[in-house]
Structure 1
Amino acid sequence: MTTTERAGDATGTGRYAEVNGINLYYETHGSGRPMILLHGGLGSGEMFGPILPALADHHQVIAVDLQGHGRTADIDRPLDVPLMADDIAALIDHLGLDRPDLVGFSLGGGVALLTAIRHPDKVGRVVSASANIRRSAIYPDMLGQQGQVNAAAAEFMKDTPMYELYQRVAPRPQDFPRLLDKIGEAMQHDFDYTEEVRGLQVPTLIVAADADMAPPSHFVEIFSLLDGGQRDGGWMGDGRPKGGHALAILPGLTHYNIVDSPLFAATTLAFLDQQG
């Protein structure tokens, strides 16, 4: 067991859970209804530091370091979103949680969605931020940049926050080039979760910055797959999406600062704390 400090936050408790053959690190903050927090690629639970105090004021926040990220060492399998979703489902069982909410950003947003799709009976509500459901939705210039992510890029990343974080907390700091290779390979794989999202049974908030890695229209499209934007909502809200889904495009933000924003925290809490 470890303890860590966050700016403006009480000490958090860090532990490891052996699930699906991976030693998954998670850190617990606050109290209340459980919320599992899932970071973006090349990050860790520390990515949510600026908003963690606000979230932990209302919920028991369980910030997980996904496979090969942060304090969770890599294992011999691809960085695959469905596999990581199964890790989260196994963690829910391991911790004995009763349908916790999932909040994820970017890679973590995809993992949150896939966990709800594959294990709907284990999840309460989902907030999926800045997570596209088709590779082709990403702007072409960004796809080009993703194609350059590999071990050779490690030398050029030594001044970045991602590298500094990895060197500081990873069980094997020398594995950073390996992580770049695996995440670069993962980003080259085509994917399309349109049909899976269409059948999503868990109330889900789709969130994006207004200047995100994919255009706002893509996130509107995801919302439409969830019965959103099909009709007027009505005075009593009876025209809202049947599954309790919602959409938020947050103004003045990008893919790179959305999870630092108090607006993201407030939007997340407003959705999770709805009744019914």
Structure 2
Amino acid sequence: MSYAEVNGINLYYETHGSGRPLVLLHGGLGSGEMFYGPVLDALAEQHQVILPDLQGHGRTADVDRPLEIPTMGDDIGALIAHLGLEQPDVAGFSLGGGVALQVGIRHPEKVRRLVVASAGIRRSATYPELLAQQGQVNAAAVEFMKETPMYELYQRVAPRPEDFPKLLDKIGAAMQVDFDFTAEVRGLQVPTCIVAADADMCPPSHFVEVFGLLDGGQRDGGWMGEGRPKGGHALAILPGLTHYNVVDSPLFATTTLAFIDAE
């Protein structure tokens, strides 16, 4: 368990296992230990897994700046440099998936391969009823959150447990900001696996569209794989899962390892 002063933030991270490094980024209102506990042993069996807590989450105290996914991508880019990691693989889920994508977009020289799970690249791709629910996330929701694992975790590990209402305000504000990373994804140079549950927060068609931006699904793959996407990209829609249990599934670990360990 360690801290790194990077990009103006005291970023908490922990390390598990040994081997080629894999930076693993958690979802919103959680931490690495909360989201990846069920699959961590499998991922760390042959890899050194680095689990950071993103800005304002888990054991990383918040700082005086908005919660912005590109900025958090810069945090992780700075952490990679701070730790002296030579092109680790980077994987993330939901909020962490968006951050992982930004690391690949903004710091491609620092990443070997990316796994981006359950992270839409346009706000409008999220189902409308979920956008309406996200609009209700703010400090006033604290009482409703007190029986949740997210609140319990924050109270147990956060440097300033009293900041939970501020985190809700910030993450609620962040979810109201429109975004569209279509152009950036189209130019992505890092081999990337797009992962989603078959009943995720965005429809499967959105993740197929993202794969299409990466030259996927344009032609038959060929007997020798000669027709696969030119950049080494891949797509995985995991069956029988939702946004809320996809990273708990052995399928997530198997898919991630198959992609990052491919020749």
TM-score normalised by length of structure 1: 0.95
Which of 157, 162, 182 is matched with 1:174 structurally?
162
Which of 126, 144, 149 is matched with 2:114 structurally?
126
| 4+ residue segments displaced more than 4 Å | none
Instruction: Give the match for residue 33 of structure 1.
Output: 20
Secondary structure of residue in 1 paired with 2:77 = helix
Secondary structure of residue in 2 paired with 1:50 = helix
Which of 235, 242, 257 is matched with 1:269 structurally?
257
Which of 182, 185, 204 is matched with 1:197 structurally?
185
How many pairs were matched up? 262
TM-score normalised by length of structure 2: 0.99
Secondary structure of residue in 1 paired with 2:49 = strand
2:244 is the alignment partner of 1:244? no
Which of 156, 179, 187 is matched with 2:175 structurally?
187
Instruction: Give the match for residue 143 of structure 1.
Output: 131
Deviations 1:216-252 (CA, angstroms, capped at 9, x unpaired): 0000000000000000000000000000000000000
Give distance in 2, aligned partners of 1:242 and 1:255: 29
Q: CA deviation at 1:58?
A: 1.6
Amino acid at match of 2:247: V
Secondary structure of residue in 2 paired with 1:91 = helix
Q: What fraction of aligned residue pairs are identical, expressed as a percent?
A: 80
Deviations 1:62-119 (CA, angstroms, capped at 9, x unpaired): 0010000000000000000000000000001100000000010000000001110011
Give distance in 2, aligned partners of 1:17 and 1:145: 34
RMSD, matched Cα: 0.4
Deviations 1:194-224 (CA, angstroms, capped at 9, x unpaired): 0000000000000000000000000000000
Instruction: Give the match for residue 253 of structure 1.
Output: 241
2:140 is the alignment partner of 1:152? yes
Q: CA deviation at 1:157?
A: 0.5
Instruction: Give the match for residue 19 of structure 1.
Output: 6
Instruction: Give the match for residue 10 of structure 1.
Output: none
Which of 90, 110, 124 is matched with 1:102 structurally?
90
Instruction: Give the match for residue 78 of structure 1.
Output: 66
Give distance in 2, aligned partners of 1:231 and 1:62: 37
Which of 164, 176, 191 is matched with 2:152 structurally?
164
Gaps of 5+ in 1: 1-13
Give distance in 1, aligned partners of 2:107 and 2:91: 15
Give distance in 2, aligned partners of 1:76 and 1:113: 24
Amino acid at match of 2:17: G
